[in-house]
A and B are shown apart, each in its own frame.
Chain A
Amino acid sequence: MWRYLKLWLSLAKFSLLGEMAFRGNFLVKIFVEVLWLAILLVFNFTLFQQTTHIENWDVNQYLFFIGCYFAMGGLIETLFLENCNQFADLIRTGDLDFFLLKPIDEQFLVSCKHIDWSCAPNFLLGLGVMGYALWTSGWVLNYSQIFAFVALFISGAALAYGFLLLLTSASIWLMRNQSLYEMWWLFTTLMRYPREIFSHGNWATPAGFFFSFVIPIMLVTNVPARMMVKTLEPSWLAWYALGSAVVVLIVSRYVFRAALRRYRSSSS
């Protein structure tokens, strides 16, 4: 464990050095992200000129949700997305051989090797938005609530990581030419909104149930955000989110290893 932490820290440092070699590119990428957040906020602001509530989320609570989503997305993009995106390439070129030869866990090496520092500011921007939303809503400091939020946020990130790994492994079989970026973006549409918007209508309600409990992608941001700005009324939902994070992590590891077993180093 200690060895992996040390290894990860040196990989992080190495990635940062690589990024700093192209500082202009780094700055442009950050600028694009800030722009994207600004447009999201303008959209949000425009919506709340028309209504005081979206389901039972008021403007500050909804703003907090957006911050939580942005921070979560930033965290996953910084740590894992670029790595998983390259997995298909590693297989196609046969370069995965070099990963398998090393005396290190393959899943660690494939999914954590590169840290995309240019996405890290997203995490901070998300934190900033969350902080602003709490400040304007007159939130009173409550350490146990912060602790619960951090724990649920981490469990949400673990859940998202598990889904990303599942999608990465599945992409080997399903979509050889598709970029994982787009798949992930489309899939994470489901964690971008409060799950209450899925609570009306003939098909939306079952879909909402399905993506909350069977494939619990909606819980990734909903559970931590709810914990912080509302009291998480059915507290079993928090436990359910924690439990499903563990299950999805185990299942995704199993599927990933199954995908590796099918690898035959076909190139060269």
Chain B
Amino acid sequence: MTQGLRKYLKILRISLVERLAYRADFFLTTFLRFLPLITTFLLWEAIYRGSGTDQIAGFTRDSMIAYLLLVQISRMFSSMPGLSTGIARDIRDGNLKKYLLQPIDMLWYLLSYRGAHKIAYIATTALPYGVLFLLFHEVFTLPSAWTWVAYIVSLLLAFLIGFFFEACIGVAGFWILEVTSLMYIINIVNFFISGQMFPLDLLERYPYVLDVLNVLPFHYLAYFPAMVFLEKKQGTELLVGLLIEALWALALILLSRWMYRLGLRHYSAYGG
């Protein structure tokens, strides 16, 4: 067991070194990526000025800006660019063999790899994001210690949900040969239903839409962790939310593993 774990920790370390090779590139794009965020802040400020109130769907101007910043942190953990298309490509090209020939499991390998990617990404963007958060520090009130614990748990579960959801789509590549366009569509819809675009509470006039979105796992990828940090989910609501998040993570892990096993039986190693 420990040996098995050590193997994946080694992969984590190697990938970490690999990621840190491209630092300058990283900083430049991170700063450019702030541009849409800044314009969105300005748009919201204009909306608050226009509406004449300082509460929109339970959000003050400050907590709205805090929400939009926190969603970036959620996505830092939960977004998995290129994961499913990578898996599908390995299946299609026959590169999957390299996992089958070694005493290594593809999904756990990719999980270690992504983990390293995320650690490197968070470490290298800590500086620019730190500056940004410092600039807007007055919109935040620091939550209690228990909220911090719940927040970190919700982020780690968001990472697992993000990973295994995309893994499921990638493994679907055993049966459908082209998942790139499917991923395009999912990403666009996800931008909306994960709450990355705006807090889902704005849909309060459509309770049935909110009910559906609350059942789906996607709001855990952006909306839920941010709401935990803002202490807008508390008590039983928070616990139930975390529990369902954990259940979704577990369900997606099991689903992806089941699909992977089923797919391997179907697989005939073309190409290579």
Partner of B188, one of A29, A39, A187: A39
A36 to B43 alpha-carbon distance, docked (Å): 19
B32: CB under 8 A from chain A?
yes
B29: CB under 8 A from chain A?
yes
Do A197 and B188 form a contact, CB below 8 Å, given A39-B197, A50-B202? no
Partner of A35, one of B42, B188, B197: B188
B102: CB under 8 A from chain A?
no
Report chain B residues within 8 Å CB of A204: 42
Partner of B25, one of A42, A55, A177, A192: A177
In the complex, what's the smallest C-beta–C-beta distance from B240 to chain A, in angstroms? 26
Report chain A residues within 8 Å CB of B197: 39, 43
A189: CB under 8 A from chain B?
yes
A21 to B49 alpha-carbon distance, docked (Å): 51
Report chain A residues within 8 Å CB of B181: 25, 28-29, 32
| Cβ-defined contact, A197 with B184, below 8 A | no
| Cβ-defined contact, A175 with B51, below 8 A | no
| Cβ-defined contact, B32 with A183, below 8 A | yes
A51 to B29 alpha-carbon distance, docked (Å): 34
Interface 0/1 of B176-199, CB less than 8 Å to A: 000001001100110110000110
| Cβ-defined contact, A197 with B50, below 8 A | no
Q: Is the interface of A mostly helix, strand, loop or mixed?
A: helix
A255 to B136 alpha-carbon distance, docked (Å): 38
A193 to B28 alpha-carbon distance, docked (Å): 24
| Cβ-defined contact, B192 with A39, below 8 A | yes
| Cβ-defined contact, A50 with B39, below 8 A | no
Report chain A residues within 8 Å CB of B243: none
Interface 0/1 of B22-43, CB less than 8 Å to A: 1001001100110110010011
Report chain B residues within 8 Å CB of A260: none
A46 to B205 alpha-carbon distance, docked (Å): 10
Number of chain A residues close to chain B: CB under 8 A = 37
A122 to B203 alpha-carbon distance, docked (Å): 27
Q: Is the interface of B mostly helix, strand, loop or mixed?
A: helix
B46: CB under 8 A from chain A?
yes
A100: CB under 8 A from chain B?
no
A95: CB under 8 A from chain B?
no
| Cβ-defined contact, A50 with B46, below 8 A | no
Do A200 and B184 form a contact, CB below 8 Å, given A53-B50, A178-B29? no
Considering the complex, give the chain A residue whose CB is closest to the CB of B42. A197
B56: CB under 8 A from chain A?
yes
| Cβ-defined contact, B45 with A200, below 8 A | yes
| Cβ-defined contact, B35 with A54, below 8 A | no
| Cβ-defined contact, B28 with A175, below 8 A | yes
A151: CB under 8 A from chain B?
no
Considering the complex, give the chain B residue whose CB is closest to the CB of A27. B181
A190 to B39 alpha-carbon distance, docked (Å): 7
In the complex, what's the smallest C-beta–C-beta distance from A57 to chain B, in angstroms? 9
| Cβ-defined contact, A190 with B35, below 8 A | yes
A193 to B39 alpha-carbon distance, docked (Å): 8
B20: CB under 8 A from chain A?
no
| Cβ-defined contact, B32 with A54, below 8 A | no
Report chain B residues within 8 Å CB of A32: 181, 184-185, 188
> Would you list which residues of chain A between 164 and 216 have a CB under 8 Å from chain B?
174-175, 177-178, 182-183, 186-187, 189-190, 192-193, 196-198, 200-201, 204
Interface 0/1 of A29-73, CB less than 8 Å to B: 101100110010011001101111111000000000000000000
In the complex, what's the smallest C-beta–C-beta distance from A126 to chain B, in angstroms? 17
A265 to B172 alpha-carbon distance, docked (Å): 43
B142: CB under 8 A from chain A?
no
Given contacts A28-B185, A175-B28, 5 further A-B contacts (CB under 8 A): A32-B184, A35-B188, A42-B192, A50-B57, A52-B50
A residues in contact (CB < 8 Å) with B: 25, 28-29, 31-32, 35-36, 39, 42-43, 46-47, 49-55, 174-175, 177-178, 182-183, 186-187, 189-190, 192-193, 196-198, 200-201, 204
